[in-house]
Amino acid sequence: MIAVAADMERETMPDLMDLLSLLPKIIPMECMESGFVQRALFGLVLLAPMAACMGVQVVNFRMAFFADAISHSAFAGVAIGLLFAANPHWTMLVLGLLVGLSIMAVQRRSSLSSDTVIGVFFSAVIAFGLTVVSHYKNVARDVNQFLYGGITTIDTTELWELMALFVVLMAFQVWGYNRMLYIGMNPSLAQVHRVRVAIYQYLYAALLALVVIFSVWAVGVLLVTAMLIVPAASARNFSRTAGGMVWWAMAISVFSAVAGLLISTQPWADTATGATVILIAFLCFLISAGVAYLRGDSSR
Amino acid sequence: MTQVVDEKVKSGATVTFEDVTVAYGDNTVLDHVSATVPAGSATAIVGPNGAGKTTLLLSLLGEVSYQGKILFRNSQTENGAVYKPRIGYVPQRLSFDRGMPLTVLEFMVMGWQRMPLWFGVHAEFRERAMELLGFVKAEQLETRRLGALSGGELQRVLLALALGQEPDLLVLDEPAAGVDIRGGFLFCELLEKIRQTKRFTQLMVSHDLATVTHHATHVICLNRNVAAEGHPKQVLTNETLTAIFGLHMGLIDRRAMPEGGTTCTASCCNGDCRECDQSEGRRSSVRLRAGGSGMLQSEKAESGSEENGACDCGCGGHGKGDDA
């Protein structure tokens, strides 16, 4: 699917450029004139709703640690890229996918608790990454990208990949949101009541892995989990229904992404984009916590 | 009202356990369990802690791997063909995130509606959900958050969810746990009414003998293997109870029942215990086996069940004696 997107890109590249050049008209700010801010904004506007949607399930099913493990596998992905002289972008994606699916497979079969299973994988990928990276001394650029992300260096190929992922992921969410809710409540109950739990779980793990790896690319490994859970956690405070929670999460996520990018590119700020985005999201969370407190359901 | 369902119009699934064995490593939890859950019955699995009650249930639900066979049949497949029944499951404790924003209505429709709940609940599904909630007397809970429900309310909503499966077989794990005696009693009353309207087979695990005597039509006494099986009045004798529980527990005092238990609605009683004693006594066959730990003397047990003409269900007024 990503290869197809890359083919399409060669044919329809001008369209995307046209689209991007519209952005300064929508947001009339000086910083919007530069191409990298346009691409970054477009990338974030694609990534934010995806992270928000998946984040709703991450929060409701307590899977933050799972997302964390996948994001850290990106480090091992960079290491594999070094070993085989491959593009780290691809090795990160493939390894993230592998780790996500393996954790899900072991979790479904093992009697170990899920955080133990995840912890085992987590430490393995980190150890592998450290071992390899410690051998190669001059990999500072890749490691920096891994730690802090670089949404402002995103190119049009990556934007096409993101768009393809966006379509697939949103299709999955529309198709499976209700059943995922069922599985999240209680997998055994869902299974007995004829929900095909395994398919949903594997698809979810795969898509989550892809979103997480793209988020590592955008905001860096330290902030990936935040990108997933902060908007969803705020949404949980604002919303009273499972349906409404998704809209809240998406709104908060897109708002903080756009606001974070615009602030970080102002000359007076000149901050790391990823961190600024998360800070804005955190402000939304504080407001939501206040709302929840005033409404008096903080104790429940 | 609580007429024992006629054999001919019975529907629901018959479940046959054939030599079901489950072992975790060296620990044999179920040892060659063979038992039958008759179609349309309210069957209870009773036994002490660690007897394998829940394991048997999980084997049935396919959550635990086992040796042996669990077969399902129904009246449509009378020639003995095995089919896959629609199962409704009411778990004992639903461990879920209570802070999660999810309304009772959303919970009810999440298994039916494909369109994501972001776009609301479709009128057709809402209607169906409300009908089911009506069955369990929980319509007023529609807009409540699932996490804010009390134990009894949650249990009724879970029952409604299970009924939404249009089950041939309704499986309940400890329906009386987590609610007080009165709540458990009312829940079982409700369940019995629904079972007779919807005509499914009901299988429950319970350690609460009061619930069992009042609401079961068939009992399987389990202590790693089947110690006894049959009608509650024949099976739940002091001898069997002593055999499987070790210590004699006795049956619950009737004064603990709501309204002093003057209106017994147990399936076994039908308002007149003497009469049903006779008919039930002839119909149901009691099987007693020497259990590994229980060492039940079958001779004694048989004589026990013969002389035991009294209604043990604690309904009062009709029984010849309260206890043997």
Q: Which CATH superfamily is domain A2-223 in?
A: ABC transporter involved in vitamin B12 uptake, BtuC (1.10.3470.10)
CB contact under 8 A, A240 and B107: no
- pLDDT reported for residue B181: 72
Q: Residues A244-294: pLDDT tens digits? A: 999 999 999 999 999 999 999 888 988 888 889 999 999 999 999 999 888
User: B181 and B149: one domain?
Assistant: no
Name the nearest CA neighbour of A209 among A300, A123, A116, A94.
A94
B5 with B75, same domain: the answer is: yes
User: Which positions in chain B touch A298 (Cβ < 8 Å)?
Assistant: none
pLDDT of residue B287 exceeding 50 = no
Task: Please tell me whether residues B229 and B176 are part of one structural domain.
Answer: yes
ipTM for the complex?
Answer: 0.82
Q: How confident is the model at residue B270 (pLDDT cuts 50, 70, 90)?
A: very low
Residue % of chain A over a pLDDT of 90: 39
Q: Is residue B315 part of a domain?
A: no
The answer to whether residue B312 is domain-embedded is: no
pLDDT score for A243:
92
Distance from CA of A66 to the nearest CA of B (A): 17
Tell me the nearest-neighbour CA distance from A282 into chain B, angstroms. 19
DSSP bridge pairs for B203: B43, B171
Mean pLDDT of chain B: 73
Among B101, B148, B171, select the one facing A245 at the smallest CB separation.
Answer: B101
The distance of A295 to chain B (nearest Cα, Å) reads: 14
Position B80 confidence tier, pLDDT thresholds 50, 70, 90: low
Q: Which residue has the tokens 């954790």?
A: A103
Most A-contacting residue of B61, B63, B72, B117 (CB-CB within 10 A), to test interface: B117
Closest CA to A178 of B95, B128, B114, B105: B114
Tell if the CB–CB gap between B118 and A181 is shorter than 8 Å.
no
Report how far residue B32's alpha carbon sits from residue A260's, in angstroms, rounded to the nearest whole number.
65
| Calpha distance B118→B121 (Å, rounded) | 9
Give B113's contacts in chain A (Cβ within 8 Å): 178
Q: Are residues B109 and B202 in the same domain?
A: no
Task: Please report the pLDDT score of residue B76 as a whole number.
Answer: 63
Token code pair at residue A285: 């969370």
The verdict on A141 touching B (C-beta cutoff 8 Å) is no
Best residue in A185, A239, A298 for a mutation probing chain B (most B CBs within 10 Å): A185
User: CB of B20 within 8 A of CB of B33?
Assistant: yes
Distance of CA A33 to CAs A25, A26, A27, Å?
9, 11, 10
- Judged by CB atoms closer than 8 Å, whether chains meet at B165 and A195 is answered as no
Domain count, chain B: 2
pTM (global) more than 0.90: no
pLDDT of residue B255: 41
Q: A80-89 — which CB contacts under 8 Å span 24+ positions?
A: A80/A132, A81/A142, A82/A132, A82/A133, A82/A136, A82/A139, A82/A142, A83/A132, A88/A142, A89/A158, A89/A217
- State the CATH number of the domain containing residue B24: 3.40.50.300
Q: Quote the percentage of chain A above a pLDDT of 70.
A: 92
In A220-241, alpha helices (H): 221-238
| pLDDT band (50, 70, 90) for residue B228 | confident
Contacts of A34 (CB under 8 A, 6+ apart): none
Across A29-38, B244-253, B309-318, least confident range? B309-318
- Tell me the pLDDT tens digit for each residue of A122-158: 899 889 888 887 887 766 666 777 777 777 788 888 8
Contact A213/A77 with Cβ under 8 angstroms?
A: yes
In a domain, B270, yes or no: no
Query: Would residue B207 count as lying in a domain?
Result: yes
Is there a single domain that holds both residue B211 and residue B291? yes
Q: Which domain holds residue B136?
A: 93-166
Q: In this structure, are B210 and B102 located in the same domain?
A: no
Question: What is the dihedral angle through the alpha carbons of B175, B179, B182, B183, rounded to the nearest 10 degrees?
Answer: -70
Tell whether B21 and B151 lie within a shared domain: no
- Return the structure tokens found at A99: 């780790």
| Residue that is last in its domain, among B147, B166, B185 | B166
Instruction: Identify whether the C-beta of residue A98 lies closer than 8 Å to the C-beta of residue A87.
Output: no
Residue B62 included in any domain: yes
d(CA A269, CA A261): 11
Do B116 and B138 belong to one domain?
A: yes
What would the mean pLDDT of B120-143 be, rounded to a whole number? 92
The structure tokens 């780290």 sit at A88
Average pLDDT over residues A190-216: 92
Same structural domain, B195 and B225? yes
Q: How far apart are CA B300 and CA B289, in angstroms?
A: 12
Q: Say which amino acid occupies B63.
A: E
Residue A35, strand partner residues: none
Are the C-beta atoms of residues A261 and A233 closer than 8 Å to each other? no
Same-domain check for residues B197 and B290:
yes
Q: Which tops the pLDDT comparison, B206 or A10?
A: B206
What is the CA angle A279-A284-A287, rounded to 5?
130
- Asked if pLDDT for residue B286 goes beyond 60, the answer is no
pLDDT at A202 over 90: yes
- State pLDDT tens for residues A79-126: 888 888 888 888 889 999 999 999 899 888 887 888 888 899 889 988
Are residues B238 and B207 located together in one domain of the fold?
yes
The residues, any chain, with a CB within 8 Å of residue B162's CB and separated by 6 or more, are A193, B88, B89, B90, B170
Q: Does B179 share its domain with B155? A: no
Does residue B172 lie in a domain region?
yes
Answer yes or no: is B42 within a domain: yes
For residue B134, pLDDT over 80 is answered with yes
Question: By the CB < 8 Å criterion, does A186 face chain B?
Answer: yes
Interface test with B, best of A193, A247, A288 (most B CBs within 10 A): A193
pLDDT in tens, B292-301: 333 333 333 3
- Asked if the structure places residue B317 within a domain, the reply is no
pLDDT tier for residue B121 given thresholds of 50, 70 and 90: very high
Residues of A with Cβ-Cβ distance to B72 under 8 angstroms: none
Please determine, for residue B251, whether its predicted confidence score (pLDDT) is greater than 80: no
